Amino acid sequence: MREPLEMATIALVDDDRNILTSVSIALESEGYRVETYTDGASALEGLTARPPNLAILDIKMPRMDGMELLRRLRQKSDIPVIFLTSKDDEIDELFGLKMGADDFVRKPFSQRLLVERVRAVLRRGSAREGMAKSGEKQSRSLERGHLVMDQERHTCTWKGEAVTLTVTEFLILHSLAQRPGVVKSRDSLMDSAYDEQVYVDDRTIDSHIKRLRKKFKSVDVEFDMIETLYGVGYRFREA
């Protein structure tokens, strides 16, 4: 059973001890438990042995950078990940989104902003579980042709093959698949996957869509169910 949001465990990975200290204080003051690591290699060991509710990763670190840490984590886990990045790392941001990051916070940042992003990402995961457990009237799974999504178990299959999705990817795909043939604007998909107080730009949604297509094509090269309507948005193809 998932812990209440205020009791969630946050893993913080950064080689800057000032950031480790200040961010830990800010998160702990909100009721979160914080585990800190100063490099990616030690973090991988710790996060694998004791999976947190969410991980905050710096991109540039010794021994193993944040991108490599995320790549290895995604082989075993779909825990939410927020990257800390410099303002000049736009290429890294795009690459990180493609690899399955849930959000980015650019340095220098306010502690309040980071806490809000953490709260928003955790809420998205909790909301997904809450929808699945809200009552017996709600279906435990969504089926659209070869697509099956189980909200309670956070599982997704295509033609019987498992497709591992992050929380954000799951929410975006679920929003599209709920109403096949209906075009969803980027703003609508943002509302489905992000807290209303968190700003993300169009590029973020586009990157998540590209990541979704890549994951499904890895199990079915002919997958073409997510359609782009240029200048409008996306839709899940009607069977």
Residue 63 has pLDDT above 90, yes or no: no
pLDDT at 32: 94
Q: Is residue 176 part of a domain?
A: yes
Which of the listed ranges 84-98, 101-115, 119-133 does the model predict with the highest average pLDDT? Answer: 101-115
Domain limit, last residue, from 128, 163, 183: 128
Question: By residue range, what is the domain housing residue 78?
Answer: 5-128
Q: Is residue 133 part of a domain?
A: no
Q: Is residue 28 part of a domain?
A: yes
Q: How many domains does the chain have?
A: 2
Burial of 122 from C-beta contacts in 10 A (0-12 / 13-18 / 19+) = buried
Residue 213 has pLDDT above 50, yes or no: yes
pLDDT at 197: 47
Give the residue-averaged pLDDT of 129-157. 73
Question: What percentage of the chain reaches a pLDDT higher than 70?
Answer: 82
Tokens matching residue 30: 């909100």
Residues 156 and 212 in one domain: yes
Name residue 12's beta-bridge partners: 36, 56
Least confident residue range of 2-6, 190-194, 205-209: 2-6
Give the confidence band of 5 by pLDDT, cuts at 50, 70, 90. low
Please state whether the predicted TM-score (pTM) of the whole model is above 0.85.
no
63: domain CATH number is 3.40.50.2300
Residues 165 and 124 in one domain: no
Residue range 8-50, pLDDT digits in tens: 999 999 999 999 999 999 999 999 999 999 999 999 999 999 9
Give the confidence band of 203 by pLDDT, cuts at 50, 70, 90. confident
Give the confidence band of 129 by pLDDT, cuts at 50, 70, 90. low
Domain limit, last residue, from 74, 107, 128: 128
Give which of 177, 179, 175 is closest to 191, Cα–Cα.
Answer: 175
Give the confidence band of 69 by pLDDT, cuts at 50, 70, 90. very high
Residues 120 and 144 in one domain: no
150: domain CATH number is 1.10.10.10
pLDDT at 137: 42
Tokens matching residue 121: 């990402």
Cβ atoms of residues 56 and 73 within 8 Å: no
